[in-house]
């Protein structure tokens, strides 16, 4: 996504977003797995792209393995490599020899403890600005630091050997499709921007859940959601900073300066499933229970409430497995573990049984082939899909992930909602992509917990903006037809009509981020009948109850800066439809004439980077 530079800077990025296992103690060479495991406790074979570390492995060996992984992935934004690095319970790194990890694209770093405190990293786990020019020395920014995962471990910050600036905090300078879950940080502060590599640069994140954190420097992050966590403090914020169920969250009374939106509790939440090793060394998946009106972490008083599934209850899939085999295993009652890699999906993976878990490791990616719908979930309660990226293919798909049939029976449960956690979508980027809709939710009582739905504004297809508009096709990003659907962290960008359409009643969104498409060639290409443009967030005309907390729609019509969009948000004028803390922002091209329903000033090029806020609609 494009964004403008910090005050006093210049635009640097153009159209960039703004722009199995074997026992071993040897160092892994790039692309080759290594496993450190106690001989008494062999782990199951999770495939060649999962590396498991044991605390008995020399720190230098672990460091070398992870350094090689980062070197291979730091610039692999459009690559196909996927990898998960898992840590058995224990302590890694020492005061004198800390373990300092840098995380690249399509990389998951996770502990295998029942609690985040079971795995301790003495050192750091970090993401810095990525330098895009002059051999990796210039144009350093965080705006395209996508697709990485950090979860289920503790970091005792140790910056020994780092320079004075980087030693000042654990730096996590990331943008969309990056989650931090079940993390406990002590010994130093956390910064969500990299102010050391070429100075502060904007980032476009982001998401934290179920974590206990020190003082956090948000700095240059345009938007961020922190949910069901504890923080010692929070500083700064650019446009849209949302806290839901967070002990220590800042007060929102000064909105829009600072731009904080704070909910005391989260109305509906459920933590992402996670792998953990039991006392005998066996692997299990913990599936947390849903919570109502939650606040704070789930693991303060012991194991996160939920159910434990042994790994033998899962079909452990690899990219070479045919979909018919996967579906046969699901039909027999197995859950599905997708090991890291890119899966070509020519017919739908069909999830038909209630309470089925589909868990991806290392940003496992499902790519549509022959216009398929890669993942199709039935109208049943309690399904959990987590850690999966779904890519459009070159033949147009009707939808990339569907939950429930459009006019089918809705068998749902308010106490056991079907849940999508860290589920990401991509249309274009590494290859041409085409879909009508990316995410379609028809079932009732569905929870969307962190989703990035992206029609790519840049990639390796070699397309001009006008060619991209006519080639990478995506009408809508998210279409929500079910009732009682909740989204905590919904990021939808660059689709060619309404980016989000919410037709179901009694829906709730807590943090919404949208960029309108950069690439419409003319105003005629960007018309909704007689209306100029399509709102970034549309609530259906028949909806009577809807709530949105903290929403932003941004415009950067770089292909034709004269294009107008009439409204950033479009909603029915009904007493039960309430929008709290919404904004539009101009990123230096194009105009959004109003924030919502003709209310609010224009976000035009006289206000570049300065949000136009509406505190509440209706007022």
pLDDT one-digit tens code per residue, 467-499? 999 999 999 999 999 999 999 999 999 999 999
**Which pLDDT band holds residue 135 (cuts at 50, 70, 90)?**
confident
User: Contact at 8 Å (CB) between 231 and 218?
Assistant: no
**Which pLDDT band holds residue 590 (cuts at 50, 70, 90)?**
very high
Residue 14 pLDDT exceeds 80: no
- Residues 258-301: tens digit of each pLDDT: 999 999 999 999 999 999 999 888 999 999 999 999 999 999 99
Q: Residue 317: in which H helix or E strand, if any? A: strand 314-317
Residue 9 pLDDT exceeds 60: no
Average pLDDT for 212-233: 96
Instruction: Work out whether strand 507-515 and strand 545-556 pair parallel, antiparallel, or are unpaired.
Output: parallel
User: Contact at 8 Å (CB) between 485 and 446?
Assistant: yes
- State percent of the chain over pLDDT 70: 93
What pLDDT does residue 19 have? 33
pTM of the model: 0.94
What pLDDT does residue 39 have? 39
Of 257, 262, 263, the closest CA to residue 613 belongs to 257
- DSSP letter at 172 equals B
> Rounded to 5 degrees, what are φ and ψ at 381?
-80, 160
> Rounded to 5 degrees, what are φ and ψ at 328?
-65, -40
Which residues, 6+ apart, have CB-to-CB distance to 193 below 8 Å?
142, 171, 173, 200, 201, 202, 203, 217, 218, 219, 220, 221
Residue 25 pLDDT exceeds 60: no
Average pLDDT for 460-465: 91
From the number of C-beta atoms within 10 Å of its C-beta (0-12, 13-18, 19+), residue 39 rates as exposed
Query: Which residues, listed in sequence order, are joined to residue 309 by a DSSP beta bridge?
Result: 285
Residue 3 pLDDT exceeds 70: no
Provide the 10 A C-beta neighbour count for residue 409.
11
State the Cα–Cα distance between residues 562 and 518, nearest whole angstrom: 12
What pLDDT does residue 201 have? 84
Q: Residue 263: in which H helix or E strand, if any? A: strand 260-263
Q: Helix or strand or coil: residue 64?
A: helix
State the Cα–Cα distance between residues 447 and 488, nearest whole angstrom: 8
Q: Mean pLDDT score of the chain, rounded to an integer?
A: 92
Q: Helix or strand or coil: residue 113?
A: coil
Catalytic residues: 515
Average pLDDT for 98-114: 98
Of 15, 16, 18, the closest CA to residue 585 belongs to 18
């Amino acid at each position: 996504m494009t964004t403008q530079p910090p005050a006093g800077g210049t635009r640097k990025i153009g159209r960039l977003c703004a722009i199995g296992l074997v026992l071993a103690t040897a160092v892994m060479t790039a692309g080759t797995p290594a496993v450190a495991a106690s001989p008494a406790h062999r782990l199951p074979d999770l495939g060649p792209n999962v590396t498991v570390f044991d605390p008995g492995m020399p720190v230098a060996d672990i460091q070398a393995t992870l350094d090689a992984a980062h070197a291979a992935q730091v610039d692999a934004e459009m690559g196909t490599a996927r990898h998960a690095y898992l840590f058995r319970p224990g302590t890694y790194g020492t005061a004198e020899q800390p373990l300092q990890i840098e995380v690249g694209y399509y990389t998951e770093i996770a502990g295998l403890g029942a609690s985040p405190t079971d795995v301790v990293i003495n050192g750091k786990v970090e993401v810095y600005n990525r330098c895009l020019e002059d051999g990796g020395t210039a144009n350093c920014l965080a705006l395209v630091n996508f697709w990485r995962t950090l979860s289920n471990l503790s970091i005792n910050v140790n910056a020994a050997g780092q320079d004075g600036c980087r030693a000042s905090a654990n730096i996590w300078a990331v943008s969309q499709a990056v989650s931090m879950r079940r993390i406990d940080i002590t010994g130093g502060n956390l910064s969500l921007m990299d102010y050391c590599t070429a100075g502060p640069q904007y980032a476009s994140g982001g998401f934290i859940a179920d974590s206990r954190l020190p003082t956090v420097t948000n700095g240059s992050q345009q938007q961020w959601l922190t949910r069901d966590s504890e923080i010692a403090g929070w500083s700064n914020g650019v446009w849209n900073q949302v806290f839901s169920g967070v002990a220590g969250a800042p007060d929102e009374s000064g909105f829009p300066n600072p731009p904080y939106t704070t909910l005391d509790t989260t109305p509906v939440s459920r933590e992402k499933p996670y792998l953990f090793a039991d006392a005998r060394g066996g692997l299990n998946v913990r599936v947390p229970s849903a919570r109502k009106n939650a606040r704070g972490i789930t693991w303060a008083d012991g194991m996160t409430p939920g159910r434990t599934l042994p790994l033998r209850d899962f079909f452990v899939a690899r990219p070479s497995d045919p979909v018919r085999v996967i579906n046969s295993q699901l039909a027999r009652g197995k859950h599905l573990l997708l090991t890291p890699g890119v899966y070509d999906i020519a017919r739908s993976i069909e999830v038909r049984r209630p309470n089925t878990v589909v868990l991806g490791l290392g940003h496992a990616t499902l790519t549509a082939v022959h216009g398929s719908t890669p993942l199709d979930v039935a109208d049943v309660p309690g399904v959990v899909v987590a850690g999966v990226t779904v890519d459009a293919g070159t033949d147009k798909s009707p939808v990339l992930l569907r939950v429930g049939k459009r006019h089918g029976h809705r068998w749902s449960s308010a106490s056991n909602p079907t849940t999508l956690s860290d589920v990401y979508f991509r249309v274009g980027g590494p290859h041409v992509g085409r879909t009508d809709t990316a995410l379609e939710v028809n079932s009732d009582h569905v929870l969307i917990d962190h989703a990035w739905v992206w029609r790519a504004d840049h990639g390796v297809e070699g397309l001009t903006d006008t060619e991209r508009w006519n080639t990478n096709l995506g009408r809508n990003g998210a279409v929500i037809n079910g009732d009682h659907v909740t989204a905590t962290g919904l990021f939808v960008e660059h689709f060619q009509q309404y980016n989000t359409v919410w037709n179901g009643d009694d829906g709730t969104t807590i943090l919404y981020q949208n960029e309108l498409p950069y690439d419409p060639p003319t105003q005629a290409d960007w018309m909704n009948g007689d209306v100029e443009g399509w709102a970034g967030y549309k609530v259906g005309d028949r909806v009577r109850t809807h709530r949105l907390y903290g929403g932003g729609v941004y415009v950067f019509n770089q292909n034709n800066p004269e294009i107008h969009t009439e409204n950033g948000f479009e909603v029915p004028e009904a007493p039960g439809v309430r929008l709290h803390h919404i904004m539009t922002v101009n990123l230096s091209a194009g105009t959004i004439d109003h924030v919502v329903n003709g209310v609010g000033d224009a976000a035009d090029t006289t206000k570049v980077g300065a949000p136009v806020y509406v505190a509440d609609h209706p007022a």
